[in-house]
Structure 1
Amino acid sequence: MDLATVIGIVMGFALILMAIMLGGDLGMFINVPSLLIVLGGTVAAMFIKHKMSDVFGSVGVAMKAFLVKPQNPEHTIGQLIDMANIARKDGILALEKVKSEDAFLQGAVNHCVDGADPEFLESVLRKDLEYLASRHGKGVAIWEGIGETAPAFGMIGTLIGLVQMLATMDDPSSIGPAMAVALLTTLYGSIFANVIAIPLAVKLTMYSQEEQVVREIIIDGMIGIQKGVNPRMLQEALKAALPPSQRDAD
């Protein structure tokens, strides 16, 4: 579990609640029409922008920001170098005994054992990488869209509340509820966008990039193994994907 995501969201809402409680009653900030305008309007806009299945799937995509398995490029490089040593000593077919929890790496190994040439192997793996980036991009786009749309519907709710307030200025009792809708919709839209949607989109983008880097390492490593590149030279080449501070860890 990514504790940073959990801590960030909890801390964000805690600070907002603290500010509310210090300045008044929490009940003052609860308004059902305002919530319906922001949440309902945002969901409606997402249905217009994206396929319904993608919108419903965005909930599962968001969970990856909480439950994602961290990528470890150094571990992947270590696996590839071990395989390079095996292939150099016993031949490519010896990799048939190698098993990996990484489905992408295991698939690449299987292609090598089945006799795929380097050009075909690279083509297949890069297509897989492109499809992965495309799938991730859809999920990120939905949460980015939510981050853009929620404040917009907050503003729509504000305009509705202002119209209602101006239309009933002769009735003082109606000014308060109309003003609450006007202000709280903007508040809800801003909170939903800036505490949830936009941070989740950024976190999902970061995790997607990390996974793509690891897959790039796997592609370069497996092609090097197939071509018989010296394991030490291959290790130095693959370490280029690591930050400079981690390259000399060995």
Structure 2
Amino acid sequence: MDIATGAGLLAGLTVVVTIILMGGDLKAFYDTHALIVIGGGCLASTLIRFPFVAIVHGLPLGLKFAFTMRSTTSRDLVDELARLAEVARKQGPVGLEKVDTDDAFLAKGIRYVADGYDMDFIRDNLERDRDNFLMHLDEGQKIYRAIGDCAPAFGMIGTLIGMVQMFSNMSDPSKLGPFMAVALLATLYGALVANLFCLPIADKLHVKLADEETNRTLIIDGILMIRDSKSPTLVREMLLAYLPEKHRHEEGEPVPA
């Protein structure tokens, strides 16, 4: 689990709730009309902006990856692929059938090599798989960013509606309070949805999108080199190029100046 995402959301909600409780109670900050304006407005805007199938794939995938961490780092993948190259050199491709890995994408590549598929098939299939996954993750990032962009705008719309209703009923003081609540809480809800949830998640997904692209491309290159019977040392050295300089050396090994 990505602890940073959960901790950030919890910290943000704690700050908001604490400030509210220091000056009143939570009931005063609940308004159904404001929720309808923000929820319904963001839903309508998102449906207009994106195809329905993109929303169905992008929203849950984005939420999943915002709260989960990759089980293996790029450095771990380099070591794992070098180990697989060693297995393939000693036992042949069939030896890879006994190898277990937690990475589903890597496991698919290993299976292709063990089953004896040719280079072009492996490359095309894995690249297509990578590109489809990255496309859906990018859709999720764009959807959350779009919601974050439109939530404050619908908060302002709610504020304007509340102000119009309030000024239209100045003769009835009993209606001024509810209309003022709509005006103020719609803006608050829009700001919270955008700045505490959607925009931070979109930024987190943008970072993870770049990481996944690097890791999956690294896996593809490693699998193809194993299929081509490259030596473990060559596999390692070639794949280390994907890592930042400070991560290319074993722990405790001095980094060249």
- Tell me the equivalent position of 1:186: 187
**Distance in structure 1 (CA, Å) of the matches to 2:124 and 2:56:** 32
What's the offset of the Cα at 1:113?
A: 2.7
Instruction: Structure 2 unaligned segments of length 5 or more: list them.
Output: 252-257
Q: Assess, with a 3 A threshold, how the Cα gap between structure 1 residues 59 and 85 changes in structure 2: closer, same or farther.
A: closer
Partner of 1:159: 160
Deviating more after overlay: 110-119 vs 31-40: 110-119
Counterpart of 1:13 in structure 2 is: 13
Contact 1:122 1:223 (C-alpha < 8 Å) held by counterparts: yes
Correspondence 1:63 to 2:34: no
Cα drift, residue 190 of structure 1? 0.5
Distance 1:220 1:148, change over 3 A: same
d(CA) in 2 for partners of 1:116, 1:193:
47
TM-score, length-scaled by structure 1: 0.89
Cα deviation code 1:61-113 (max 9, x no counterpart): 41332244444222221121111122233433432333323222122122223
Counterpart for residue 88 of structure 1: 89
Indicate conservation of the 8 Å contact 1:71/1:211, yes or no. no
Which amino acid is 1:20 matched to? I
Alpha-carbon offset, residue 248 of structure 1: 0.9
Instruction: Please state if 1:46 is matched with 2:46.
Output: yes
Post-superposition shift, 1:231?
1.7
Q: Which letter maps to 1:38?
A: I
Equivalent-residue separation in structure 2 for 1:67 and 1:248 (angstroms):
27
Aligned residue pairs total 250
Alignment pair present for 1:225 and 2:249: no
Normalised by the length of structure 2, the TM-score is 0.87
* Residue 112 of structure 2: aligned partner: 111
Number of the residue aligned with 2:27: 27
1:158 Cα deviation after fit: 0.8
CA contact (8 A) 1:71 1:210 kept: no
Cα RMSD between the aligned structures?
2.2
Change (3 A) 1:52 1:123: closer
Give the secondary-structure state (helix, strand or coil) at the position aligned to 1:249. Answer: coil
3-state SS of the aligned residue for 1:228? coil
Q: In 2 relative to 1, CA 107–70 (structure 1 residues): closer, same or farther, beyond 3 Å?
A: closer
Instruction: Give yes or no for contact 1:155–1:186 (8 Å, CA) kept in 2.
Output: yes
Rounded to whole Å, the distance in 1 between the matches of 2:14 and 2:145 is: 23
Say if 1:68 and 1:99 are closer, same or farther in 2 by CA, change over 3 A: same
